[in-house]
Structure 1
Amino acid sequence: MSATAPRAVVVDDSHFMRTLLSDMLEDGGVRVVETAANGAEAVTAVREHRPDVVTMDLQMPEVDGLEAVERIMADRPTPILMLSAHTADGADVTFEALEKGAVDFFTKPGGEVSTEMSAKSDQLVRKVKAVAEADVSGGRSADHGGAADGSTAGSAGGSVAHAREFRDGGTVVIASSTGGPTVVESVVGSLPRDAALRVLIVQHMPDAFTSRFADRLDAASEYDVREASGGDRIGGGEALVAPGGKHLVVAGAGGGRLRTRLTEDPPEHGVRPAADVTMRSAAETVDGPLVGVVLTGMGADGAAGAEAIGDAGGRVLAQDEASSAVFGMPKRAIERGCVDDVLAAGDVPDGILDAVELEVNA
């Protein structure tokens, strides 16, 4: 094992699961320095071993995963990957953990646990290594655009709206992965309704989570947000979230509305939905202001799509390194030379509105 291998603490109340996870991580080049059976032990292990990353179960006796995340982020901020049940209830609690500072999550399989987890071993190792590189320093949360109490900046959109006049809506395609849900929530929550944007959101997450994510965005913003179901048509002030396991494609545009469809074409960059698919189809189809936004995340998804948007005359924004949990996706887009502005997460909503105005007035 490399001397630079990330050091991990594995937290789960099941001895079997702790052993299984530890073995998979060790086999994948991650050094497990300690395991813990509950949240209290996790806090102690992090304090004593100072790991690069923690895998955290949610449901545990005494101190559960949510409380453990809160304690760790207050005591010694450390990148945390939640291990979540693949259920709607599991999704709700997982989003709470992300709000408290966890970077990302990995779904526990049901059924024959050992067989399914082994099949997902490579994916788990990649995600743990990516989360280990995340920046969880205190300065990053301020750039998300959230309020001090953790609420999103939905009211901020109103102040932006009063300062502008919008002649026409535009189309915005947002790409996001590791560390992204709270950033997306803040960005969408800050967009004014009277900008009349049509927003498509591709956040890498499984199918049990995208519906709940859409509900959260709907509650946090002035926009009508829903999970795409196939054959959707959206107009200004509406947003669609690509469902887990399916690509979201812009199939037509006209009369101020977009027509979309879902496909089960092969994953791109190992993910489905892939932002590249949505962005390419938007670049080929949308007539009018078009903005691509590449937010925090590991990998290269969104870079080729952003380039397609730029080639079609649209504008491209990327989140900056300082406010990104993982600077993989924005960095790849920047390296392609297609990014017009690199912005802190909190500046992205204004950047979107500026980009739409530039295109409208061009």
Structure 2
Amino acid sequence: MTRVLVVDDSQFMRTVIGNALSEADYDVETATNGTEAIEAATTYDPDVVTMDVEMPELGGIDAVERIMATNPALILMLSVHTEDGAEATLDALERGAVDFLHKPDGSDSRTVADLSNEVVEKVDELADANSSSIALARAAASVHATRTTTSDVTDRAVAGGETGPEPAVGSGGPGGTRTRQGGSGSDVGIDLEIDETADHAGARPAAEFDLGDIELESEDAIAPTVVIGASTGGPKIVEELFERLPIGLDATVLVVQHMPAEFTDRFAKRLDARSEYDVREATDGESVVPGEAVVAPGDSHLAVDDDDGGRLRVRLDDSDRIHGVRPAIDVTMETAAEQVDGPLCGVVLTGMGRDGAAGIEAISAAGGHTIAQDEATSPVFGIPCQAIETGCVDVVAPATGLVEAIVDAFDTDGETDD
């Protein structure tokens, strides 16, 4: 039986959430603060933890870091609907939590009963998700602790757990080699050392090389466009990707992270602070140029309307949810495939569901390059797995190999190593 640890300083919240989970046939333990949570995690070794953010003695953020370093689990944060709550939740996600839910605060019609139902649904999803890679979160917590004492963040490593059976991986999908208008785009001009130990049959492994010396070959090179899509467990992976994405690639980057509207602006600011790229939340009708990145606002689809010589014009769309989400990765990837004239790369990261699979197919059909995060380093392997199963993923890469795979995509001019 799946064991869930419910952590909250409110006896009422512990009782309501705990009873709902017990009625759903989960084995439930409780703790009243972060200190008790750490002890309970050691004693009971829970599969899933629901963690309040603000608690006396030791808060949820520090408790997440300690639990992920000693007894890793899938942690779901419960946060208040405020700006400070959003920042604290993003901190918790960085330290190893995989998802979050808002506590009702009277600003809408949601009740504690609604929250309880949402917690049960989310725990159901997390319990069904691939958790063999829990060492990923343990390494993330360790890395965060290291980063607080050193300014060197470029050599960080994320450890993967044991992998399950590998899915069949396409090596370019139907039609084989593809080349988009504009050729290789950024022609980085570097030597690649290929990792021959990659386990994914049929997929090119991510290359290993120094990202510091990447430069566009000429001023006439067409700048590439990168579309990144992620859901559960994604914020931490996206932040790490942006920390290492070289400005010399001169890419235009579009990010779709499944996240409520109150979080995406804060998320964009965090990316901006950690990246050489100019990152902001997207606005309707704006232009995005090489060296810039925009994040799809929560509750709005992000579509590409036009490509004027590498200057992308984007549009926000509040039409129906797709796959139950808005923004949807598919919308951004499919419109990019239709509108972008230059080199294009689609990247799908950890998350639940199948959003992004159709987008990967569209980018592949348009001659773009496609990358999926591997199972071992995906806290939740749903989105990458669904994309891989389309047969249109060119490269499957671990979290630490995503930047190298992106750069390699524009260096190879669509060629494979086969």
Matched-pair identity in %:
51
Q: Which of 171, 181, 198 in structure 1 is aligned with 2:225?
A: 171
SS in 2 for 1:149: helix
Are residues 66 and 155 of structure 1, via their aligned partners in 2, closer, same or farther at CA, if it must alter by over 3 Å? Answer: closer
User: In the TM superposition, what is the alpha-carbon distance from 1:159 to its structure 2 partner?
Assistant: 4.4
Q: Which of 36, 40, 44 in structure 2 is aligned with 1:45?
A: 40
User: In the TM superposition, what is the alpha-carbon distance from 1:357 to its structure 2 partner?
Assistant: 2.7
Q: Which of 4, 12, 17 in structure 2 is aligned with 1:16?
A: 12
In the alignment, what sits opposite 2:81? 86
Structure 1, unaligned stretches of length 5 or more? none
**Pairwise mapping of residues 190-209 of structure 1 onto structure 2 (< 5 A)?**
190-209=244-263
In the alignment, what sits opposite 1:281? 335
User: In the TM superposition, what is the alpha-carbon distance from 1:251 to its structure 2 partner?
Assistant: 1.0
SS in 2 for 1:308: helix
User: In the TM superposition, what is the alpha-carbon distance from 1:267 to its structure 2 partner?
Assistant: 1.0
User: In the TM superposition, what is the alpha-carbon distance from 1:183 to its structure 2 partner?
Assistant: 0.7
Q: 2-side partners of 1:23 and 1:114: how far apart?
A: 22
Q: 1-side partners of 2:354 and 2:63: how far apart?
A: 32
Q: 2-side partners of 1:86 and 1:256: how far apart?
A: 38
Are residues 303 and 56 of structure 1, via their aligned partners in 2, closer, same or farther at CA, if it must alter by over 3 Å? Answer: same
In the alignment, what sits opposite 1:272? 326
Contact 2:147/2:153, CA 8 A, preserved across alignment:
no
Counterpart AA for 2:51: M
In the alignment, what sits opposite 2:174? none
SS in 2 for 1:138: helix
In the alignment, what sits opposite 2:213? 162
Contact 2:321/2:327, CA 8 A, preserved across alignment:
yes
Are residues 7 and 147 of structure 1, via their aligned partners in 2, closer, same or farther at CA, if it must alter by over 3 Å? Answer: closer
Are residues 187 and 16 of structure 1, via their aligned partners in 2, closer, same or farther at CA, if it must alter by over 3 Å? Answer: same
Q: Which of 285, 308, 312 in structure 1 is aligned with 2:366?
A: 312
Q: Does 1:149 align with 2:156?
A: no
Are residues 139 and 207 of structure 1, via their aligned partners in 2, closer, same or farther at CA, if it must alter by over 3 Å? Answer: closer
CA deviation string 1:240-292 (max 9, x = no partner): 00111111111111121100111111111111111011111111111111110
Q: 1-side partners of 2:248 and 2:67: how far apart?
A: 41
SS in 1 for 2:279: strand
User: In the TM superposition, what is the alpha-carbon distance from 1:120 to its structure 2 partner?
Assistant: 5.0
Contact 2:87/2:266, CA 8 A, preserved across alignment:
yes
- Root-mean-square deviation (CA, aligned residues, Å) is 2.7
Q: 2-side partners of 1:282 and 1:295: how far apart?
A: 18
Q: 1-side partners of 2:287 and 2:321: how far apart?
A: 24
Q: 2-side partners of 1:236 and 1:8: how far apart?
A: 45
User: In the TM superposition, what is the alpha-carbon distance from 1:71 to its structure 2 partner?
Assistant: 2.4
In the alignment, what sits opposite 2:65? 70
User: In the TM superposition, what is the alpha-carbon distance from 1:147 to its structure 2 partner?
Assistant: 7.8
Are residues 162 and 115 of structure 1, via their aligned partners in 2, closer, same or farther at CA, if it must alter by over 3 Å? Answer: closer
User: In the TM superposition, what is the alpha-carbon distance from 1:164 to its structure 2 partner?
Assistant: 4.9
SS in 2 for 1:186: helix
User: In the TM superposition, what is the alpha-carbon distance from 1:117 to its structure 2 partner?
Assistant: 4.0
User: In the TM superposition, what is the alpha-carbon distance from 1:225 to its structure 2 partner?
Assistant: 0.2
In the alignment, what sits opposite 1:353? 407
Contact 2:96/2:140, CA 8 A, preserved across alignment:
no
**Pairwise mapping of residues 290-305 of structure 1 onto structure 2 (< 5 A)?**
290-305=344-359
Q: 1-side partners of 2:273 and 2:243: how far apart?
A: 9
In the alignment, what sits opposite 1:138? 135
Where is the helix percentage greater, Structure 1 or Structure 2? 1
In the alignment, what sits opposite 1:25? 21
User: In the TM superposition, what is the alpha-carbon distance from 1:118 to its structure 2 partner?
Assistant: 3.2
In the alignment, what sits opposite 1:255? 309
Contact 1:317/1:343, CA 8 A, preserved across alignment:
yes
Q: Does 1:227 align with 2:281?
A: yes
User: In the TM superposition, what is the alpha-carbon distance from 1:30 to its structure 2 partner?
Assistant: 5.1
Q: 2-side partners of 1:238 and 1:257: how far apart?
A: 10
Are residues 135 and 97 of structure 1, via their aligned partners in 2, closer, same or farther at CA, if it must alter by over 3 Å? Answer: farther
Counterpart AA for 2:211: V
Contact 1:154/1:220, CA 8 A, preserved across alignment:
no
User: In the TM superposition, what is the alpha-carbon distance from 1:32 to its structure 2 partner?
Assistant: 4.1
In the alignment, what sits opposite 1:107? 102
TM-score by length of 1: 0.90
CA deviation string 1:229-248 (max 9, x = no partner): 21121100000001111111
Counterpart AA for 2:337: A
Larger radius of gyration: 2
User: In the TM superposition, what is the alpha-carbon distance from 1:173 to its structure 2 partner?
Assistant: 0.6
Q: Could you tell which deviates more after superposition, 6-15 or 109-118?
A: 109-118
Counterpart AA for 1:82: M
